Amino acid sequence: MHSRSLFLSALCLGVLTLAGCVSPQVTQPADDLTETAFDQRLESLENNLALRCSTQTELLRVQAERAQRIGDNVRANGKLLRHLRADVENIGQEPRVVTTCPVKRNDTASKEMLGRNEWVGFPTVGTYLKARVDSGANTSSLSAHDVTEFERDGESWVRFKLALEDDEPAVDGMRDDVIEAPVTRRVKIIQASGTDNRPVISLLMTLGPLKQRVEFTLNDRSHLDYPVLLGRRFFMDIALIDVSQAYIHPRPEYPGGESAAEAEKDQQDNDSEEEAR
């Protein structure tokens, strides 16, 4: 605006001079915006804008810190809930009596006897399955498919379904259920076809009078005769194997499943299974 006013004044002065007229003194209209006033107003606007930006940045920083604190609290509460869940699952377990008296290494009186094949139960899953007890395997294994690893509260978890054949004895209502569990560790399995890195989870398992958490690797065993393999890490201190017997202990019972009295028809013994060591 100021530049345009100066331009019009100069133009008028030039016309009057060329016309031979005496030009009177040109004065700046009183209501025109002077250059100083314009600069002052522009500086004021810039200061206000800078102040607003500074205030907004501070608000964003405070909100980010608050969100971080909330996230830390959520993760801490998640860990507490998982510990509480494990404690609840262990409620009702009969405590084991640990003797302080010296015993001979060949003393087997306190160890449970297991057959080469047994029924096992998974209380938190709600089903029973057939298991092969194998002293040649180190870690136990559970038949699973659709295995997906994900992160929850900063920790590694896994989501999967049981991999079972249609004629495999199990509680029908649990066949397609999704199971989630934290990954406790990973193991490298060496087979003839190569090596495989598998996640390991911990599940509460029952076998006769035994009830404890057992570590399982997850892999598809649906092509094998037993969806569960029990290795040395499970039974080496608590049980012995009598390979001449099978299904010494009764099948556990769960809602929707068959009774233990009807288990005999499902106890077909297949010793031709080849396990990968």
> Read out DSSP for 144-210?
EEEEEEEEETTEEEEEEEE---TTS-S-GGGTT--EEEEEEEEEEEEETTEEEEEEEEEEEEEETTE
Between 41 and 116, whose confidence is greater?
A: 116
> Has residue 54 got a pLDDT over 60?
yes
| pLDDT at residue 106, as a whole number | 52
| Residue 200 shares a structural domain with residue 232 | yes
| pLDDT at residue 13, as a whole number | 52
* 79 inside domain: yes
Which band of pLDDT confidence, cut at 50, 70 and 90, is reported for residue 99?
Answer: very low
| Residue 50 shares a structural domain with residue 118 | no
What letter would DSSP give residue 149?
Answer: E
Residue pair 55/47 in contact (Cβ under 8 Å)? The answer is no
| pLDDT at residue 78, as a whole number | 73
| Residue 143 shares a structural domain with residue 178 | yes
| Number of domain units in the chain | 2
* 252 inside domain: yes
| pLDDT at residue 48, as a whole number | 84
Residue range 143-180, pLDDT digits in tens: 999 999 999 999 999 999 999 999 999 999 999 999 99
| Residue 72 shares a structural domain with residue 135 | no
pTM above 0.85, yes or no: no
As a whole number, the mean pLDDT across the chain is 80
* 104 inside domain: no
* 254 inside domain: yes
| Residue 219 shares a structural domain with residue 255 | yes
| Residue 175 shares a structural domain with residue 237 | yes
| Residue 71 shares a structural domain with residue 180 | no
| Residue 41 shares a structural domain with residue 134 | no
Q: Which residues on neighbouring strands pair with residue 202, listed in sequence order?
A: 215
| Residue 255 shares a structural domain with residue 121 | yes
| pLDDT at residue 30, as a whole number | 46
Residue range 25-51, pLDDT digits in tens: 444 444 566 888 888 888 888 888 888
* 102 inside domain: no
Burial class (CB in 10 A: 0-12, 13-18, 19+), 170: buried
Q: What percentage of the chain has pLDDT greater than the value 70?
A: 74
Residue range 240-257, pLDDT digits in tens: 999 999 999 999 999 999
> Has residue 7 got a pLDDT over 70?
no
| Residue 128 shares a structural domain with residue 259 | yes
| Residue 59 shares a structural domain with residue 190 | no
* 24 inside domain: no
Residue 3: its H or E element: helix 2-18
| Residue 138 shares a structural domain with residue 260 | yes
* 1 inside domain: no
| pLDDT at residue 87, as a whole number | 64
Residue pair 117/132 in contact (Cβ under 8 Å)? The answer is yes
Task: Supply the range of the domain harboring residue 55.
Answer: 35-91
CATH code of 136's domain = 2.40.70.10
